[in-house]
C-alpha cells in the first residue's frame, strides 16, 4: 500500500499554499512513494512555496495563461525527471467582479479569462503532458458541482467547470489509444484561497458541510488520497469520469 505509487513521476499544478487542494494531492502522492514535481504560477507563489516545501522538491514555473509557458514547463519537466506518469491540474481563476456579479452581468473579457485559465488550460496542459507521458498515464483535473447545479454565487465559475468537464471527456476519448486516462474529481467545498473569491463563501462552506452524509466537510487529505488513487495502476479502468469526493453533498443538492 505504501508503495502504491513507487516509481511514478507525477506533476502537481496549483499549489498556492498549505491550504491548496493541490498540496493535499502532493502529500498523498509522496506518502505512497510517488515522486512529485510541483508547478507554480509565478515568483510570488514560488516565495510562498519556499516557506513550507522541502528543499529537494522539484519545482517548475508555469503560468498557464500562455501556451508557450505550458510547452516550456513540460520540456523542463522532461529534462528534470524524464517521462512522466501523471498530472494533476488544480488551477482555476475568475476575476472578482465577474465571479461576484451574477452570470447575467458577465462580460466578454471576464468570460474569456475564466474559461481560459479554468478550462482551456486543461487542454493545453493535457496536450503537452501527453507528449511525455508513459503508458497507463493518468491526467486529472479538479471540478465542482456548480458545473451541473446553479449553486448560489458560483456564477461564471460554474460555466467554466461545465466546459472543463466536457473537455475532460473529449480528451479521455482522444488519449485512450495511448493508454492514458483523463478524469476529474468533483471536490466538496473546502476553504482555500480560490474559495474566498466566491461571494458569501463562509455561508457556502457551512451549508455544504451541513449537507454531507456525516456532518463533516471532506478534507484536503481525503481529496488528495482519491487523487493519489487516480494516479495509481489501480485506477486504469476509470476514464472520462467525474468522481465525486464531497462526502455525499451532491446527493442532496436540489437546486
Ligand atoms: N476549494 C474548493 O472548495 C473547491 C471545490 C471544488 C473544486 N475546486 C477546484 O480545485 C482547484 C484548486 O483550487 P483550490 O481551491 O485548491 O484553491 P487555490 O487558490 O489554493 O489554488 C488555485 C491555484 O490556481 C493557480 N492559478 C491561478 N491562475 C493561474 C495561472 N494563470 N497559471 C497557473 N496557475 C494558476 C493559483 O496559483 C493557485 O495555486 C481549482 O480548480 C478549484 O476550482 C475547489
The whole-angstrom separation of Cα 86 and Cα 26 is 12
In this prediction, residue 237 has a pLDDT band, given cuts at 50, 70 and 90, of very high
The whole-angstrom separation of Cα 187 and Cα 224 is 10
In this prediction, residue 234 has a pLDDT band, given cuts at 50, 70 and 90, of very high
| CA 144 to ligand 1 center in whole angstroms | 11
Give the model confidence (pLDDT) of 156-180 as tens digits: 999 999 999 999 999 999 999 999 9
Give the model confidence (pLDDT) of 175-216 as tens digits: 999 999 999 999 999 999 999 999 999 999 999 999 999 999
The whole-angstrom separation of Cα 84 and Cα 235 is 17
What pLDDT, on a 0 to 100 scale, did the predictor assign at position 254?
60
The whole-angstrom separation of Cα 111 and Cα 123 is 17
What pLDDT, on a 0 to 100 scale, did the predictor assign at position 150?
95
State the closest ligand 1 atom to the C-alpha of 164, by its place in the atom list counted from 1: 41
Residue 119 near ligand 1, beta carbon < 6 Å: no
Residue 192 near ligand 1, beta carbon < 6 Å: yes
The whole-angstrom separation of Cα 31 and Cα 4 is 9
- CB proximity list for 104: less than 8 A, separation 6 or greater: none
In this prediction, residue 2 has a pLDDT band, given cuts at 50, 70 and 90, of confident
- Kindly provide the residue ranges of all beta strands, DSSP E only, lying in the chain, ordered along the sequence: 9-13, 35-40, 58-61, 84-89, 133-143, 181-187, 242-245
Active-site residues, by number, are: 144, 154
Residue 190 near ligand 1, beta carbon < 6 Å: yes
- CB proximity list for 14: less than 8 A, separation 6 or greater: 20, 21, 22, 39, 88, 89, 90, 91, 142
Strand partners, 108: none
- CB proximity list for 96: less than 8 A, separation 6 or greater: 197
User: How large is the average pLDDT for residues 38-65?
Assistant: 96
User: How large is the average pLDDT for residues 81-100?
Assistant: 97
Going from N- to C-terminal start, the domains of the chain cover: 9-247
| CA 29 to ligand 1 center in whole angstroms | 18
Question: Would you say residue 69 has pLDDT above 70?
Answer: yes
Nearest CA to ligand 1 atom 20: 20
User: How large is the average pLDDT for residues 44-57?
Assistant: 95
Residue 77 near ligand 1, beta carbon < 6 Å: no
Q: Domain 9-247 falls in which CATH fold?
A: Rossmann fold (3.40.50)
User: How large is the average pLDDT for residues 117-142?
Assistant: 98
Residue 93 near ligand 1, beta carbon < 6 Å: yes
CB atoms inside a 10 Å sphere around CB 14 = 26
Unique residue bearing C-alpha cell 508503495: 3
Cβ-contact 91, 160 below 8 angstroms: no
**HEC secondary structure over 185-254:** EEECCCCCCHHHHCCCHHHHHHHHHHCCCCCCCCCHHHHHHHHHHHHCHHHCCCCCCEEEECCCHHHHCC
**Packing angle, helices 220-231 and 21-31, rounded to 10:** 50
pTM: 0.98
| Lookup: cell for 45 | 507563489
The whole-angstrom separation of Cα 216 and Cα 44 is 33
Strand partners, 143: 186
Instruction: Return the percentage of the chain with pLDDT > 90, whole number.
Output: 97
Each residue of 87-99: b (16+ CB within 10 Å) or e?
A: bbbbbbbbeeebb
Query: What CA–CA distances, in Å, run from 166 to 111, 146, 155, 173, 183?
Result: 17, 14, 18, 11, 10
Question: Would you say residue 255 has pLDDT above 60?
Answer: no
Closest CA to 152 of 209, 99, 223: 99
In this prediction, residue 1 has a pLDDT band, given cuts at 50, 70 and 90, of low
Amino acid at each position: 500500500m505504501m508503495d502504491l505509487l513507487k516509481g511514478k513521476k507525477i506533476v502537481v499544478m496549483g499549489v498556492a499554499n498549505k491550504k491548496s487542494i493541490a498540496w493535499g494531492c502532493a502529500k498523498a502522492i509522496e506518502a505512497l512513494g510517488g515522486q512529485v514535481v510541483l508547478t507554480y504560477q509565478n515568483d510570488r507563489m514560488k516565495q510562498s512555496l519556499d516557506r513550507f516545501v522541502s528543499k529537494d522538491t522539484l519545482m517548475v514555473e508555469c503560468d498557464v495563461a500562455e501556451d508557450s509557458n505550458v510547452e516550456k514547463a513540460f520540456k523542463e519537466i522532461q529534462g528534470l525527471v524524464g517521462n512522466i506518469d501523471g498530472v494533476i491540474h488544480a488551477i482555476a481563476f475568475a476575476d472578482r467582479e465577474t465571479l461576484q456579479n451574477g452570470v447575467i452581468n458577465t462580460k466578454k473579457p471576464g468570460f474569456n479569462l475564466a474559461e481560459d485559465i479554468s478550462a482551456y488550460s486543461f487542454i493545453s496542459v493535457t496536450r503537452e503532458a501527453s507528449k511525455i507521458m508513459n503508458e497507463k498515464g493518468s491526467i486529472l483535473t479538479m471540478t465542482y458541482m456548480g458545473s451541473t447545479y446553479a449553486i448560489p454565487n458560483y456564477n461564471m465559475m460554474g460555466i467554466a467547470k461545465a466546459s472543463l468537464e466536457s473537455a475532460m471527456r473529449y480528451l479521455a476519448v482522444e488519449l485512450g489509444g495511448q493508454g492514458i486516462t483523463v478524469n476529474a474529481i468533483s471536490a466538496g467545498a473546502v476553504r482555500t484561497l480560490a474559495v474566498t473569491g466566491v461571494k458569501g463563501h463562509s455561508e457556502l462552506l457551512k451549508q455544504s458541510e451541513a449537507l454531507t452524509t456525516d456532518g463533516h466537510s471532506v478534507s484536503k487529505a481525503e481529496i488528495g488520497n482519491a487523487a493519489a488513487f487516480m494516479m495509481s495502476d489501480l485506477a486504469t479502468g476509470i476514464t472520462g469520469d467525474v468522481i465525486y469526493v464531497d462526502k455525499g453533498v451532491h446527493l442532496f443538492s436540489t437546486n
